[in-house]
Chains A and B, each alone.
Chain A
Amino acid sequence: MTAIIALSLFGISNLFWGFWFPRKVLQILTLLFLAVGIGLTAMDWNHELLWFGNMFRTTNTSINFSLIIQLAAFLVVALSRGFGSDDEHTHPAEYYAILLFSVVGAILMVSFDHMIMLFVGLEILSVAMYVLTGSDKRNLKSNEAALKYFLMGAFATGILLFGITLVYGATRSFYISNLANIIAATAPESMPSFLYIGVLLMLIGLLFKVSAAPFHFWTPDVYDGAPTIFTMFMSTVVKTAGFAALYHILSGVFGGIYSTWVLTIYFISMLTLIIGNVTATYQQSVKRMLAYSSISHAGYMLMTVSAMQSSSTSTVLYYSLSYTLATVAAFAVLILVSEYQTGRKEKPEDYSSFEGLAINNPGLAFCFTISLLSLAGIPLTAGFWGKFFIFSDSFNRNIIYPVILAILMSAVGIYYYFKGIIAMYFKNGDIEKIEVPILFKIALWFCTIATLVLGVYPNLVKSLF
């Protein structure tokens, strides 16, 4: 809990440090702030407490999610390199401050015990993301993406709020624990029917944030238009927070009326898997491919959410962690390669930009390979166990057909992930040695090695969750 206050204060102070310090120092400062945040969050371990008028609850699950979120933010900041060197058009102090604020929002989203807290957290996170998406002011695509994200996101938030209102109307409570009791105590027939409408509307609001089909239409354009470093942030932090919130609501509150929403989630997860994976195969741009791949991973995660096993919490956590590590590494390599190819190639983010990367940059190629393998769910990487836990949870609930579909779609996934590997290793290109700053290198290798270690010994974190 203290982490939220600390991070908010750090965020505000960051705006002032911007007057005096150069961007490299700001980056180090922000890393320090996040490290403090991680420490403060970890200190709450095993202390289940309520804060802010019982609206905010720290549990070990919420702490785990908060830690994953802050770890992702830490990695993103470490990979940000002070946002380039263009003093006139980039504003590192503001960017770092906004990143810290959005982390606060994300933490609220994973630890809420009151619907309003969920809403506040979601808004803090979303508004921050709208700004960061449009931060590349002179790029038309970035502007378009920001506006699109803002308009669609505002609608989704409105729908979520509408859902919260209806649920409140039916149960007269905003508190998660109360709500669960009321729903469990009342017979389904005597519930007002608008409770179910409320539940569905809330689901839609949250599913939009995690970009599940058919609410995914913003994702490719926004991911594509935003500066890559913020895309990385979006696809890890926002997704993890969104899933944590969704899982918290569905298992914690609406677990009692499982049968009313589970079919919806089934279909949405199947649709998401199909759309995400099949569309990703058509992409020429790696960035867009990763956007669609993030949609498809939302489909896998939804399967666990709908399985609602005792092990599901740890599965969602494990999957979020493995997905975060792999995605950060993939985007990090994409940043370096597309920067190198800017000016050399017409479309620096295409697969063709990666051709021959392995010749002079074996390290980068290796990191990218491992992250793609993890996303594809090949053994030796964390992603494999993530998939294993998901399939095993779903089977336990007798969810057969979605699992079979998911298996087929994993095979489709291998096709587009391996396209990147083929381009790097088996095509000829003339990429020279790319200079990698030291902090960037450390963060990138951290992700890669962590992916491998979790792939060989998943129990390292699984026992914590």
Chain B
Amino acid sequence: MNLLFILFFPLLIGAYLLIAKPKHAFIISLSATILEAIATGFLLYKINETLLPITFIQDWIPEVGIQFSLKADGISGILIGLCALLLPFIIGSTAKTEKANHAQYQGLMLLMQSAMMGAFLAKDAFLFYFFFEASLLPIYFLASKFGGENKSAITFKFLLYTIFGSLFLFIGLIFVYLRTPGATHSADIETLYLTARNLSAESQGYLFMAFFIAFAIKMPIFPFHTWQPDTYTTSPSQGTMLLSGIMLKMGTYGVIRLIIPMFPLGIGIWGNTAIVLSIIGVIYGSIIAIQQKDAKRLLAYSSFAHVGLISAGMLTQSFDGIQGALYQMLSHGINVIGLFFVIEIIERRTKSRELAQLGGITQSSYALTVCFIILSLGSVALPLTNGFIGEFILLKSIFDYSLILGVVAGITIILGAVYTLRLIQKTMFGNVSRITTEFSKLTLEEKMVLIPLSIFVLLGGIFPNAILHFSEESVSQITQLLK
């Protein structure tokens, strides 16, 4: 029951906000997401106690063997935890702006949460696809209704690009599903594992490509990333946070949940190419990020670089790679929404994101600087921050896989430090510019968002074991399949 509550509660509140358009949308959506986070926390606590997955199974379309089945195990648990944890902060970041009581804006974010929860919880492959696609609609409306410059064309490109990718996933899924045993077939993910693994290497190769294109566009991986910087830049901040903080994890989650257990032979053929592409993305994204003039765009490219490393790590198919990827998904989500929020705070006060026009903010707002530095250091992967644990395990798995690739991917640490420190320096330090002279201090609402996020960064860096332990069991089940 708890699973159903987690899945449908945001949907109901979101629908209520969209239809009834109540005046106090902010307080409704904030309390809804907090309640959701509590419910999710309770669920995760139960899973953590027993280390057994919690499932819910109900017939959906019995004629074709499709079930409405949900399952929360160690892997899904981390992602629903991320989704439930971040939403209160994302909604909290709208406090006291004109968007706070905009019922449509809040409602769409809640719908988005519901769809993403569904994708992370789905046990049936078509249910996963259903939510995977459905989550596009709220974010599309959010970005193209409330976005910035040239939003219509950019978000449309984003929509077409991602749907085009998911359609490949769709045929791939149907292809495997039709080969499952039984008169009505079955789309249960675990049945698909068994079926897909028995396919010939050639079929697995094609299927790997079909699935990987869909997820690679979502993440995005080089060279499928061209929608990403524009979309991140033009979306409203909360849209960008949703996209980068949670939605791209649907792509990485898809790789762990579907591709790795399903197509071991397919990865044998294409895995190396995919890893190389991911690492190209890491380096390429970092180099472009160094040259950006727009702070939000810089973060967009940095997110592109980070996700490349996650993808490379998990595609090594090692226990460490997958564990590191999961941990890094969590920390990347926390860091990136904090960073995007800092940029939004700066933009609110100065109406600018241009690095050249900013500087010296530390003189007027010390708290902002401290939070920003903690979050950035998390993103740089300094020891004692959450980013360090994730990147370290990821890099170790890549080194185990191939020394050369490991060395190349390792450059990311240096490049990451370059663009992040440049971002800090150009905004926080240096001379006070014309527009930052009257920079006002952080408000209470802004502190309420930034300080907890910064604490999470440190906590994640100091006590990683709780989370690593949480996902251990499920990840080893997946790696067992590979032997």
- Interface residue tally for chain B (C-beta within 8 Å): 31
Asked whether A285 is an interface residue with its Cβ less than 8 Å from the other chain, the reply is: no
- Residue contact A391 to B151, C-beta cutoff 8 Å: no
Asked whether B62 is an interface residue with its Cβ less than 8 Å from the other chain, the reply is: yes
From A311, A385, A388, A408, residue with most partner B Cβ within 10 Å: A388
Contact of A418 among B134, B145, B159 (CB under 8 A): B159
CA distance A422 to B134 in the complex (A): 18
B129 CB contacts on chain A under 8 angstroms: 379
- Residue contact B177 to A422, C-beta cutoff 8 Å: no
CA distance A422 to B154 in the complex (A): 12
CA distance A307 to B426 in the complex (A): 62
- Residue contact B126 to A388, C-beta cutoff 8 Å: yes
CA distance A304 to B74 in the complex (A): 41
- Residue contact A414 to B159, C-beta cutoff 8 Å: yes
CA distance A415 to B156 in the complex (A): 8
B61 CB contacts on chain A under 8 angstroms: 385, 458-459, 462
A462 CB contacts on chain B under 8 angstroms: 61, 63
Given the contacts A378-B133, A379-B130, A459 and B63 also touching, CB distance less than 8 Å: yes
Asked whether A403 is an interface residue with its Cβ less than 8 Å from the other chain, the reply is: yes
Contact with A along B123-138 (1 / 0, CB 8 A): 0001001110110010
A385 CB contacts on chain B under 8 angstroms: 61
Given the contacts A396-B178, A414-B160, A425-B145, A407 and B126 also touching, CB distance less than 8 Å: no
CA distance A333 to B469 in the complex (A): 55
Contacting B at CB under 8 A, from A419-465, are 422, 425-427, 457-459, 462-463
Asked whether A90 is an interface residue with its Cβ less than 8 Å from the other chain, the reply is: no
Our count of residue pairs bridging A and B at CB distance below 8 angstroms stands at 75
- Interface residue tally for chain A (C-beta within 8 Å): 32
Given the contacts A379-B130, A411-B160, A415-B160, A425 and B167 also touching, CB distance less than 8 Å: no
B126 CB contacts on chain A under 8 angstroms: 388
Asked whether B482 is an interface residue with its Cβ less than 8 Å from the other chain, the reply is: no
Q: Separation in Å of the A389 CB from the closest CB of chain B?
A: 8
B167 CB contacts on chain A under 8 angstroms: 407-408, 410-411
Asked whether B373 is an interface residue with its Cβ less than 8 Å from the other chain, the reply is: no
B170 CB contacts on chain A under 8 angstroms: 388, 391, 407
A425 CB contacts on chain B under 8 angstroms: 141, 144-145
Contact of B163 among A388, A411, A457, A458 (CB under 8 A): A411
Asked whether A25 is an interface residue with its Cβ less than 8 Å from the other chain, the reply is: no
Given the contacts A395-B178, A418-B159, A425-B145, A407 and B168 also touching, CB distance less than 8 Å: yes
CA distance A396 to B131 in the complex (A): 25
Asked whether B45 is an interface residue with its Cβ less than 8 Å from the other chain, the reply is: no
A396 CB contacts on chain B under 8 angstroms: 178
B175 CB contacts on chain A under 8 angstroms: 395
- Residue contact A426 to B145, C-beta cutoff 8 Å: yes
Asked whether A140 is an interface residue with its Cβ less than 8 Å from the other chain, the reply is: no
Asked whether A404 is an interface residue with its Cβ less than 8 Å from the other chain, the reply is: yes
Identity of the chain B residue whose Cβ is nearest the Cβ of A392 in the assembled complex: B174
Please report A residues at the B interface, Cβ cutoff 8 Å.
Answer: 311, 314, 373, 378-380, 384-385, 388-389, 391-392, 395-396, 403-404, 407-408, 410-411, 414-415, 418, 422, 425-427, 457-459, 462-463
9 pairs, A vs B, C-beta closer than 8 Å: A378-B137, A388-B126, A388-B170, A395-B171, A410-B167, A411-B164, A411-B167, A418-B156, A426-B145
4 nearest A-B pairs in the assembled complex, by CB-CB distance: A411-B164, A379-B133, A379-B130, A407-B167
